Structure 1
Amino acid sequence: MMKLFKNWWGRFLFQDRGIVPTFKLLFILLISGLLITGLSLLGASWIFIGFLNAVILLISLVDLFFSPNRNQLDAKRVMPKEMERYANQTITVEINNYSKFSCEIRFVDGIPTSFQTIFPVNYKITTGINGINYQVFPLVRGKYGLEKLYVRYKSLYGLWEKQITFKIEETVKVIPNLTEAKQYLASSQRYLLHEGLKIRKQKSGVGEFAKVRNYVVGDDPRKINWRQSAKLQEVMTNDYEPEHGKYVTILIDCGRMMGVELQHGNRLEKAMEAAITLAAAALKNGDYVSVVAFSKGIKAYVPPAKGLDHLDVILKSIYHIQVDASESDYVNVVQYLQTLQKKRSLFLLFSDVHTFIHEDRTLLFIKRVRKKHLFMMIGIEDELLKERIKIYPETQVIAMEKTMAQKEVQFKKQQVLKWDNQGIIMLEAPEDKLAVTAVSHYINQLNRGLL
């Protein structure tokens, strides 16, 4: 009995198949019930009352014949295979009506609970193919499966609703947000505008030959291409740019401290978005990029390659990475990279500075690595710590909290300066500036010719 009740209750909640009365029919039954009650009080016979009930029920059932049969409806879902986190996406449901009847439908799609949307979707379909769009807002990265589409459609006069469930299996990947990466690829100099950093050539006439162009006022006369100038009868100059083919290794910490929640997502989410933006910048510059995601062990490794097509390989390899409950093993990942990366490379680690500066064994090991490779670590500023420093000490408790916050910041500055003098760069940036900080320091290393 309980199983049968659950089955019918499931059908009432947009599951499986069935026919349910609408509020219009219930209202009609309520009015007719009041009229029949009044007639019975006036002495109407039970035969007449039963006949009247049968007529009302028969008329309502006739309304079912003026609606499409279940086998006359077909549905298909049109959606992207990849969606960006925190970006509105459009999903289209195409319902093909093979009958001659129009009807009002409402449906609920079987999307994951981590997708924000508004259901049910209401629409009036006609004969033929009807495309219905609705918006979703993915919140959590990962791979998700969509299976069922639950549809209800009304009869001609809206007295009954038929239920039908379409089994439409789809798979969608929610990848990190690529807004900043797209901004950089669209205009790298505009993206770095607020940093006051320009992508400069290293030295005059040094680096890779790029092209021959028209001479303009301010160009170095020593770079004039006299042969091309003689051929074209106008002054031409050689254009050089920094050498390409450098090796950049991006390390993404997935340990416990990267799960700290920020205003928009957690530290890992911001680190992944910044890492992808940095990878796009390096790949656009013609460098080789490899990516390692790690915590206690290696979670994902993408071998070095160049070309913007490699960005898609990186996304497919790391889009599903989540925070682990364990502490990160920095020495293990650096040793692992040393066995794979023989050429001089820029190791750029996205992690938590506070955790990193307490790893004395790690820092001593990286000091040895620094002899061959460049090493840079970037973290996200602790907004709570900054707020505690700015607060006015009205009470003893607040004054104590402010003192401890100042002490922590001072200790961090001392440690960062100490290791910076030994060639290990550690930076912190606000969560909304993490990507641009990483890209600007990468460009700075190229401009200075250190890589």
Structure 2
Amino acid sequence: MKRFFKHTYLTFRFFVVAMILVALFILAYIFPGLLNIIITLFFIAIGLLLIDFVLLYKQKGISASRILPEKLSNGDDNPIELSIQNTYNFTADLQLIDEMPFQYQKRDFEINTQLKKQDKKKITYTLRPLERGEYYFGNLNIYANSPIGFVIRRYQFAKDAMVPNYPSFLQLRKYMLLAFSNKLFEYGLKKIRRIGHTIEFEQIKDYVNGDDIRNINWKATAKRNQLMVNQFQDERSQPVYSVIDKGRAMKMPFEGLSLLDYAINATLVISNVALKKQDKAGMFTFSRKVDNKVVAERRPSQMNLILETLYNVNTDFAESDFSRLYIDIKRSLTQRGLLLLYTNFETLDALHRQLPYLKAIAKHHLLVVIFFENTELQKLTKTNAHNTFDIFQKTIAEKFVYEKKLIVTELQKHGIQSILTAPENLTINTINKYLEIKARGLL
């Protein structure tokens, strides 16, 4: 009986009818002739209430299930599917309330729908997680009522489901398809022309604008009476390491996602692209010390190892120690490789403190420093100033934006490659830089 009352609710329509009947009974004191009619209406309402109970409780009329993905993709829209079936002999009005993981702090999520008798329906909604970790779903609550609409019966399904939230593998799949179709070289902000500079000869072909004139084959040119060039294959099996700064500077959020998570998502994609291009992919993180290390390899299980390692990366809110990073790289990375360093510098002074270590790393490896535009400051510089305070804010914002550009210039002055990018464009800009480096034979 307790369970019965726990899952039974009276509707607003029932209380409206009850209040109308109470008002009519009060009116019967003034007009006694209406009493019999009002009593008849009262028993009709009671009868409808009992019929409503019978319609809803004579059978278990609603069945449902929640279909969850095996894992969620961080920062992406993940589909959650609800499958519902109505076995009642009437059209049921349904209110669906799915208990979302606590990370969303969403208490007003509901879906209202109508399901005809003996009918099935699939409802899909999306969730965009912004933190890696375990996401626990609660009950799927369905509130059903008949056309009479006096009583609501609650059904509960799909209790206590957990789904882990991994780095963005949906983004990984998108770029994987581009890699398979060989369209990565034309994807992004500009077309990257591949120019081989290794000693591995591939073929002789006609000269086209953009080919390196140093590769002109003069003998073939004389025979064909037109310019011919030697084409070389890109060098393969080169180590490509993603180095992620997990210090407090990377905890800054943009569009709900931290810079650390943007870097993690980009690392997953660029590692896969490097493996598809026959290079060796690896990664490690650093803050007060270097950890989460995956040695660059080209084995079938490498991507799964990188994915599992990235899943467990979290910031420790400490000041990053670039001297420890340099010492560890010098000791453990003996082969020259490409190091994609994801970090963030807000001021030129912050760069100058770490510049000696970056220059030392760049002596033995091809270092690409990847740091982020402050998109909020970018927006502020484009707003119109209406008073002195607005002018002051806009001026300070423009100063910080300009200082980011000075950081790029300073790195270039010391022969260090760099990428200054908005967080949402990080992945594609990193891929473009990798393809440019491969095409120019810099590694």
Q: Matches of residues 76-225 of structure 1 in structure 2 within 5 Å?
A: 76-97=65-86, 102-112=91-101, 114=103, 119-125=109-115, 130-142=120-132, 143-177=134-168, 178-179=170-171, 182-183=174-175, 184-185=178-179, 187-192=183-188, 194-202=189-197, 206-207=199-200
Q: Deviations over 1:27-52 (max 9, x none)?
A: 32233222222223334799998897
Say if 1:68 and 1:99, in contact at 8 Å, map to a contact too: no
In the alignment, the residues of structure 1 paired with residue 184 and residue 54 of structure 2 have an alpha-carbon distance, to the nearest angstrom, of: 63
1:424 maps to 416
Coordinate RMSD, CA, aligned = 4.3
Using the TM superposition, give the Cα deviation of residue 172 of structure 1 relative to its aligned residue in structure 2, in angstroms: 2.4
Amino acid at match of 1:274: A
Say if 1:148 and 1:166, in contact at 8 Å, map to a contact too: yes
In the alignment, the residues of structure 2 paired with residue 189 and residue 423 of structure 1 have an alpha-carbon distance, to the nearest angstrom, of: 25
Say if 1:86 and 1:137, in contact at 8 Å, map to a contact too: no
1:95–1:444 CA distance, 2 compared to 1 (3 A): closer
Length, aligned pairs only: 420
In the alignment, the residues of structure 2 paired with residue 32 and residue 40 of structure 1 have an alpha-carbon distance, to the nearest angstrom, of: 13
1:367 maps to 359
Using the TM superposition, give the Cα deviation of residue 318 of structure 1 relative to its aligned residue in structure 2, in angstroms: 1.9
Amino acid at match of 2:297: A
Using the TM superposition, give the Cα deviation of residue 160 of structure 1 relative to its aligned residue in structure 2, in angstroms: 0.6
Say if 1:121 and 1:134, in contact at 8 Å, map to a contact too: no
Amino acid at match of 1:191: Y
Q: How does the TM-score come out when normalised to structure 1?
A: 0.75
Residue 348 (structure 1) aligned to one of 340, 351, 374: 340
Using the TM superposition, give the Cα deviation of residue 389 of structure 1 relative to its aligned residue in structure 2, in angstroms: 7.3
Unaligned 5+ runs, structure 2: 209-215, 221-229
Amino acid at match of 2:186: R
Q: Give % identity.
A: 21
Amino acid at match of 1:424: I
In the alignment, the residues of structure 1 paired with residue 346 and residue 242 of structure 2 have an alpha-carbon distance, to the nearest angstrom, of: 19
Q: Which stretch has the larger CA shift, 247-256 or 386-395?
A: 386-395
In the alignment, the residues of structure 1 paired with residue 277 and residue 196 of structure 2 have an alpha-carbon distance, to the nearest angstrom, of: 12
Amino acid at match of 1:189: F
Amino acid at match of 1:202: H
Using the TM superposition, give the Cα deviation of residue 380 of structure 1 relative to its aligned residue in structure 2, in angstroms: 1.3
1:56 counterpart = 2:45 = yes
In the alignment, the residues of structure 1 paired with residue 427 and residue 145 of structure 2 have an alpha-carbon distance, to the nearest angstrom, of: 51
Q: Deviations over 1:116-148 (max 9, x none)?
A: 898322233456673331312314132301131
Q: Which stretch has the larger CA shift, 428-437 or 113-122?
A: 113-122
Q: How does the TM-score come out when normalised to structure 2?
A: 0.76
In the alignment, the residues of structure 2 paired with residue 44 and residue 297 of structure 1 have an alpha-carbon distance, to the nearest angstrom, of: 91
Q: Which stretch has the larger CA shift, 79-88 or 58-67?
A: 79-88
Using the TM superposition, give the Cα deviation of residue 65 of structure 1 relative to its aligned residue in structure 2, in angstroms: 0.9
